[in-house]
Amino acid sequence: MSTNLPFCVPIAAMGMPMTAAAPGQPTSGYDAVMNCLDGGDEVHDWVLNYSGIQQLVAAMPAHIPNQNDNGDYFFESTVDDIHISIQSYTTLNEEAISGQSVPDQYLHNGQTYNIIGSIEHTIAFNNVTGWSVTLPVMLLGSVPMSILGKVGYSAFLKPLAQRLYTGIRKALTTTVEEGMDEAAVAAAADAAAEAADVTELILEESAIDASLSLETGGLAMIGFVGLIAIQVGIILIVHSSYHQLIIYNFTPYDLKWGDASLKHDAMITMQPVTDTTGDTPAQCLPAMSATSPSRFIAPVNTASMGQFNVYSDSETHGCKWGLSFRLCEAGTDNELTAPVGAMWDIPFSGKNSLGVSSGISQSDLSDWVKREEGEHRHHSRSIELDNNITVTNTLDHLQGKHKMALGSDDDGYIYRSVLVFQPT
């Protein structure tokens, strides 16, 4: 009689890992972001590569993964001399599996699951990790965990990695005909989950007659779909001026913001969405965290990040826009510093400018964005706040046409920025 192993993999934590996932594996992208603080080519290359995830992943084959010397699975491809790899690192709670300890449990759709381990998926460019997601691996509580030892770990971990990669690849290669709004993100996440989920997959390498079922749900794929949002906006909306922004929160505080101030005909084609519904704009990047799905699994130290894409189709104006930020005690609305304004001016003609200032509240934002136009035609500008926090705003170029996307020969009026909040 065949034994079925019903697994469930919801989302746990995502963002930029602060350390390598394993010895000898791709390094954290933290140093790469720090190299962007002066603006210029480093910003251009980092954001271009990061926003090119769609093209890079589309070039990956949908086959059984490779395996490195540590037993971890990976998929890889190269576009425009940029090597991308999706790594799958598995940590198992072997004490719980062997019955030496009681596992943590999780209630999902009315059923109890035992958390047997975690899978950390990382996305690396040229051996530098730009993003990761940690997914708890859970087995239905009615199934004795001792059966996993009889099946053999590699017999179920390899197909798990393959199924999850299938969903990730589906998420990262989604195309949307008219840009990517919040509802489209949720729909794409559901489609990716459907591609990953399986009701009965025969475990060919199992020591006993066994099969695997997997349920991910849209939540496990929300983060991956969000990664393509900037690129979708660039490919499918051919207008005059574009701005790509990645925000990094390396602080122990929640980073919150209000609605953007958009001037002339500037429009946001994508912004962060919540990882709980996928259809609600997120206006908070959580504090740095060390997250683990279980007491028995070492936490992954992760910094949160968010991406914006703004464009203008005006024949007389470019993109001018700004945001007002608040740094708050983690988990509360208690503000710890003065509010911070950040703005970017991409004019129809002339040089670009940027701004970052303390004391710019949401009510002050619109007027401040107007006043700052053309004031700071620099690649980088930094300020220091209370509580030893530094904020740095950047631009890659001040004028001219630049590469639109990886794998494309087209140039356009596209500019890229990173905005970094970090301890001084």
Check whether 70 has a pLDDT greater than 80. Answer: no
Looking at the DSSP bridge assignments, the partners of residue 83 are: 78
Give residue 316's pLDDT band: very low, low, confident or very high (50, 70, 90). Answer: confident
The model's pTM: 0.84
The Cα–Cα gap between 1 and 108 comes to 27
- The pLDDT score that the predictor gives to residue 140 is 94
Q: What are the tens digits of pLDDT across the range 243-273?
A: 999 999 999 999 999 999 998 778 887 777 6
* pLDDT of amino acid 276: 46
pLDDT at 383 over 70: yes
Q: Which amino acid is at 284?
A: C
Closest CA to 153 of 212, 194, 99: 212
SS3 88: strand
Please give the residue that has the higher pLDDT: either 79 or 289. 289
Write the pLDDT tens digit of every residue in 179-192: 455 566 667 778 88
**Dihedral sign of CA atoms 232, 235, 238, 242 in order:** positive
CA dist., res. 118 & res. 13, Å (int): 11
| Residue bearing the bigger pLDDT, 227 or 112 | 112
- Per the model's pLDDT, the better-predicted residue between 278 and 55 turns out to be 55
Sorted by sequence, the CB contacts under 8 Å of residue 67 that are 6+ apart come out as 73, 74, 158
pLDDT score for 376 = 94
Q: Which helix (H) or strand (E) holds 322?
A: strand 319-328
